[in-house]
Structure 1
Amino acid sequence: MSASDIAGIPGSPDVPDSHGSGAAAPGGPGALVPRTVPPAPRRSRGVLGTELRRGVGPWCAGAVVAVCWVTMYGKSPQWMGRWAETTDLLRVAALLLCGPLAVAVGCWQGGRERRRATGDLLASLPRAPLRRTLLAVAPAAVWPAAGYLLAAAGCALATWPYAAGGGPFLSLVAADAVALAALGVLGFVAGRLIPWRLAAPLLAAVTYVGLGVPAYADSPARWLDPALDHMYFWDRPVWWFGPASMVWTAGLAGAALLAYAARRRISALPPLAAACAAAVLLAGTGDGLWRPDPAAARLVCDDGAPQVCVTAVDRKLLPSVSAALAGLNARLRGVPGAPVRWIDGPRAPGPGREQLAAAPGVVVRKVGEPVLLGSREAQLPDPFSLSEHGEISDPALYAKWAVGYLFSQDCSGTDFDTPAARRATAVNDAVNQWLAPRPDSAAIPLYGGDVHLRRLRAMDRAESRAYLARYLAADLCRAEEVPVP
C-alpha cells in the first residue's frame, strides 16, 4: 500500500486526510507528517498547600515550639521525672503563653485580604465563601497545634528516661492542641470583623488575662479554662475529660466560623449546642475530672533497715533516696524507738479521695504528721523536690530534711527564751548535725551546741545507741525532758 493510499484512510493519525485539512509536509504532497503531542501539564500542589506554606503560619509554629521549650527548659527540675507534672506545666506554657500568640496570628491572618485590598477580587471567584474562608483560616488553625505537638513530643522524650510508670496524658495533649487551633480560628474571625491593625496585640492581651484569671477562682466553671492545671501527682483524668474539652473549644470556634462564613448561619447551631453540652458536663463535674490513681500512689520499698518506701511515681528515685539516707539509717538501725520504715505518700488527699487511702499498698500522709505513733513509721521528705535527672541532687540536704521531719513536733505555746529551752535548742541542733552532717553547717550556732556535738562524736556505738534511745523517748516540746549528751 502506498503513502497515497494511507493518506486516503479517514481518521489516519499520521497523515493529513484527502481534504487537505493538514499542512503539507516538506518533501512534497502526500508525505507523512509526525504527530505533535503537547506536554502534560504539571500537577498542581493545591491551594491548601500554598496557604499553609506561605504567610505567618510556619513562623507561628516555630514560635510555639521555642516558647514551650524555653519555658520547660527553665523549669526542668520541676517536671522532668513525673508525667503528671510534665503534662501540667506543658499545658500552662502552651495555653497561657502560646494561646495569646495563636489568637494574634489568627487575627493578623484574618485581616490579610483587607490589608491587600483583594477582598473584591476573591469574592468574584466561583469558589463558595465558606470554602474560601476555610482555606484562609487553615494556617491559623493548623500551625499552632502542630508546633505544640512537636514541643510536647520533645518534652515527652526528655521525661521518658526519668519518669516511672504510666505515660503522658495523651488525651489532654490532644485537647491542648485543639484548644490552640480553636484560639487561632477565633482570632481569625475577629480579624475579619475588626478593621484595626492593633486588634491583634489587644486580643492577645485579653486572651492572656482570660486564660489566667480562672486559675484563681473557686468556681467549678474554672475547668472550662483549657490552661488550668492540676497539681496532684497521684491522680489521673477521667477518660472523657480530654474529648469533652475538645468538643468545648472546637465547638465554640466552629460555631463562630460558620456564623461568619456559612450561607445559612443556622448551621452554626449544632457546634454551638455541642460546645454548651460539653461546658455543662465539665463545669458540673468540677474537681471530679481528676480521680485518684492507686497504681501511682502504691508504695515501692527497698530491703534496707530502716526500710525506705516511695510511691510508684518516684520509684526510679528509690536507689538515690536509699543512698542519701544510708548514713542516717546506719545510726538509727536497731535503736529502741527509732523508725523501722520511712514512707513517702500522697499528702492531703482532699475530698473525694477516701478510696485512695483505703487502697491496698497505699499510705496517705497528712501534712504535718511526721511520725505514726505505734507503727514506728516516719515521714519521708518529697524526693522529687530535690531530684534532678533521676537522682537526688543534694543527698546531704535530703538527709537533713529527713531528720527534721523525724523530730518535728508542734510546740506552739512553748517559751523558747528560758535557759532550759536554750539548752534544748542547742542539744537538738547538735543531734541533727550528728545524724545528718552537712559540710556547710559544721559549726553549731546558738547556745554552745558545738560542745554537745563533740560529745556525740566521741561516743562509741553502745553509748550513742543508748543516748538516741533516750532522746527519741523524750518529749522535745518539754525542754526539761531533752537529755544532754
Structure 2
Amino acid sequence: MSILGVELRRSAALGAASITVVIGVGALYLASDRWSSGWMPLAMAVREYLLLLWPLALAAGAWQGRREHRAKVGELFTTTARPRVQRMLPVAGAMAITLAIAYLLVTAAGIAWMITTAQHLPLLNFVVVTGVGVLSLIAAAWLGLGIGRMFPALVTAPALGVAGVLLVFVSAIRPADWLAAAISPVHGTSRFHAWQTIDNRVSGALSIWMLALAITGLLLLVAGGWRARTAALLPVLLGLTGAIAVVPRDRDVLNWPVDPIARELVCTEDTPTVCVSRLHANVLEALTPLAREGLTVLAKLPNAPTAVHEDTSTYVSGDIRPAQDGVVTIPIRIDSRGGLAHPVAVLPEIVNRLGVGYDERCQNRNDVVERAAAYWLLGREPQSDVGVIPGMLSEDPEINAEAVRLWQGLRELPYDEALARVTAVRDAILACTDTTGMLSGSAR
C-alpha cells in the first residue's frame, strides 16, 4: 500500500486523471442540452466523450511506461531480486484507480446537473454502460503502459494519442456495424432519438474486447523478453474472437435500440389529457396548460381532438407511430437544465395542420393554406415559423405574405362560412388531398 501511495503521488496517474476530469466535465457542460433529459442520455454522453478521453489515457499510459528508460534505471532494476511483476503492478494499479475515479467524477458532475429533473432511471443499463466506460479507460491506460515500456521513445506517447483518436473514430464509423460495436467504446453512443439506449449484449461484447486489451497491456508491461511479449498478443486475439461471437447482428439493436419503458406515456389524471414519455415526465406540469390552450383553440372545429401526446416515433429506424383518433402529437424538446425547451412553439405545433398528425405518405401539403387556417383559429395574424418553430432557419417571405392575405379573406367572411372553409381544409388534410385554393374566393 505504501508503494501504491508513492505511485499515486509521483506517477502520471493523478495528472492524467485531473486532465480527464477537466476535459470530461467541460465537454459535458458545454453541451448539456444533449443529455440533460435523463440518466441514460448522460451515461451515453460520457461514453461518447471517450473519443477524447480514451486516446488521452492511452498517451498517459505510454508516457508513464517509459519512466524507467527516461530515468535510465532499467538495467539497475533488472539486477534486483524483486520480481518485475511486483514492481509494475503498483504503477498499473495507480493508473487504473485514478482514471476510474476520474470517469466516475465526470459522471457525478452530470448527475449533479440534472438530479432534480431526471426521473426515469434504468439502473441496470446505466450501471453497465458506465462500468464499460470505466473499463475502457483502464484498458487504454494499461495498453499505453505496455506499449510505452516496449517503445520508450519520446514520440511514443503523442503518437499513440493521435493514433488513439483515429482508431476510436474510424472504428466507430467505418467497419460493419457489428464489428464497430464490438471494438469501439463510442459506437452507438451518439443519440438519434430521445429513448435510445445501449443493448446489454453490445456492452458485453465490448467488455470482452476491452478486458482483452487491458490484459495485453498488463502482460506487455511485465514481459521480460520477446517470447513473453509475443504471447501477450494472445488475449487480443481471443478477446476479439469472443467479442465477435457475442455481439448481436441486428442493425437496430446495434445502432439505436429503444428503451420501451422510457418511451411509455405518462398522462395527466384530469382532462383534457396530456401525455409525455416517461423520460420527459418532469415537463408534464409545464406542458399541460400550453397543450390545453391548443386543444381549446382546436375545439372550434367539429370532432376536434381532445388529447395531446408526445410524438414517440423514432424516425431514424422507421418506427413511425400513427396518431390515434382525437389525439394531437407534438415533439417534446428538453433544455439544458432538463426543463421544457421552446414553450412558445407548443401552441403553434398543436394548431398547425389543424390538429392532424403528419403523414409522410401525403405529399399534397400547402403550408400557406394550413397556416392561414390555423392562425384564423388562433385569432391573430399569421407569422413566419422562423424564430418560433425550432430548426426553422429561413423561409421565403412570400409564404407568410400569402398566408396573411388568405387570413384577411377569412376574417371578412361570416364566422360560420369561415369556419366551414377551415373545417374543409382540415378534412382535406385528413384525406391527403390538395388544399390549394380552398380558402380563396368570396362568400357564397
Please give the range of the TM-score, normalised by the shorter of the 2 chains.
0.7 to 0.9
**CA deviation profile, 1:442-471 (whole Å, cap 9, x unmatched):** 999545433444566789987775554333
The equivalent of 2:329 in structure 1 is 379
TM-score, with structure 1 as normaliser: 0.74
- Partner of 1:126: helix, strand, or coil? coil
Q: AA paired with 2:41?
A: E
The equivalent of 2:104 in structure 1 is 149
The equivalent of 1:470 in structure 2 is 424
Is 1:124 the counterpart of 2:79? The answer is yes
How far the C-alpha of 1:409 sits from its partner, in A, is 5.8
Q: Distance in 1 between matches of 2:423 and 2:362?
A: 25
CA contact (8 A) 2:16 2:57 kept: yes
Q: AA paired with 1:313?
A: L
**Counterparts of residues 164-183 of structure 1 (less than 5 Å):** 164-167=119-122, 169-183=126-140
Q: Distance in 2 between matches of 1:51 and 1:438?
A: 71
The equivalent of 1:449 in structure 2 is 403
Q: Which moved more, 1:429-438 or 1:210-219?
A: 429-438
Number of equivalences: 414
**CA deviation profile, 1:101-135 (whole Å, cap 9, x unmatched):** 10111110011111111112222222101221222
Q: Distance in 1 between matches of 2:257 and 2:384?
A: 43
The equivalent of 1:211 in structure 2 is 168
Q: Distance in 1 between matches of 2:415 and 2:43?
A: 49
How far the C-alpha of 1:200 sits from its partner, in A, is 1.0
CA contact (8 A) 2:295 2:305 kept: no
Q: Which moved more, 1:59-68 or 1:314-323?
A: 314-323
Name the Cα RMSD after superposition: 3.6
CA contact (8 A) 1:52 1:58 kept: yes
**CA deviation profile, 1:228-278 (whole Å, cap 9, x unmatched):** 134344355444554543332122221342255246839758855762454
The equivalent of 1:29 in structure 2 is none
How far the C-alpha of 1:75 sits from its partner, in A, is 0.9
- Partner of 1:308: helix, strand, or coil? strand
Relative to its length, the structure with more helix (as a share) is 2
Structure 1 alignment gaps of length 5 or more: 1-44, 354-363, 417-423
Q: Distance in 2 between matches of 1:159 and 1:455?
A: 49
Is 1:220 the counterpart of 2:191? The answer is no
Is 1:67 the counterpart of 2:15? The answer is no
Q: Distance in 2 between matches of 1:286 and 1:435?
A: 47
Q: AA paired with 2:328?
A: A
- Partner of 1:342: helix, strand, or coil? strand
Q: Distance in 2 between matches of 1:226 and 1:113?
A: 30
**Counterparts of residues 262-341 of structure 1 (less than 5 Å):** 262=223, 265=228, 268=232, 271-272=235-236, 275-285=239-249, 287=251, 288=253, 292-303=258-269, 306-333=272-299, 335-341=301-307
CA contact (8 A) 2:33 2:335 kept: yes
How far the C-alpha of 1:410 sits from its partner, in A, is 5.6
How far the C-alpha of 1:434 sits from its partner, in A, is 4.5
Q: Which moved more, 1:67-76 or 1:216-225?
A: 216-225
**CA deviation profile, 1:419-443 (whole Å, cap 9, x unmatched):** xxxxx75443333344566997599
CA contact (8 A) 1:91 1:229 kept: no
Q: Which moved more, 1:405-414 or 1:171-180?
A: 405-414
CA contact (8 A) 2:382 2:404 kept: no
CA contact (8 A) 2:352 2:371 kept: no
CA contact (8 A) 1:332 1:338 kept: yes
**CA deviation profile, 1:273-325 (whole Å, cap 9, x unmatched):** 76245412343455446864432222222256553222111111122222332
- Partner of 1:343: helix, strand, or coil? strand
Q: AA paired with 2:195?
A: W
- Partner of 1:392: helix, strand, or coil? coil
Instruction: Return closer, same or farther for 1:75/1:433 CA change in 2, 3 Å cut-off.
Output: farther
CA contact (8 A) 1:110 1:137 kept: no
**CA deviation profile, 1:49-72 (whole Å, cap 9, x unmatched):** 101111321121111111111111
Q: What percent of counterpart residues are identical?
A: 24
Is 1:246 the counterpart of 2:207? The answer is yes
The equivalent of 1:41 in structure 2 is none
How far the C-alpha of 1:397 sits from its partner, in A, is 1.8
Of 366, 370, 385, 1:428 maps to 370
Structure 2 alignment gaps of length 5 or more: 386-396
CA contact (8 A) 2:376 2:410 kept: yes
CA contact (8 A) 2:421 2:439 kept: no
CA contact (8 A) 2:147 2:217 kept: no
- Partner of 2:308: helix, strand, or coil? strand
How far the C-alpha of 1:159 sits from its partner, in A, is 2.3
Q: AA paired with 2:219?
A: L
CA contact (8 A) 2:28 2:45 kept: yes
CA contact (8 A) 1:96 1:212 kept: yes
Q: Distance in 2 between matches of 1:457 and 1:439?
A: 12
Q: Distance in 1 between matches of 2:382 and 2:63?
A: 58
Q: AA paired with 2:77?
A: L
Q: AA paired with 1:116?
A: A
Q: Whose Rg is larger?
A: 1
Of 29, 32, 55, 2:11 maps to 55
Q: Distance in 1 between matches of 2:122 and 2:381?
A: 37
TM-score, with structure 2 as normaliser: 0.80
Q: Distance in 2 between matches of 1:426 and 1:267?
A: 71
The equivalent of 1:200 in structure 2 is 157
Q: Distance in 1 between matches of 2:278 and 2:350?
A: 20
Of 379, 390, 398, 2:346 maps to 398
Q: AA paired with 2:329?
A: Q
CA contact (8 A) 1:430 1:444 kept: no
Q: Distance in 2 between matches of 1:192 and 1:133?
A: 11
Q: Distance in 1 between matches of 2:152 and 2:335?
A: 52
Q: AA paired with 2:371?
A: D
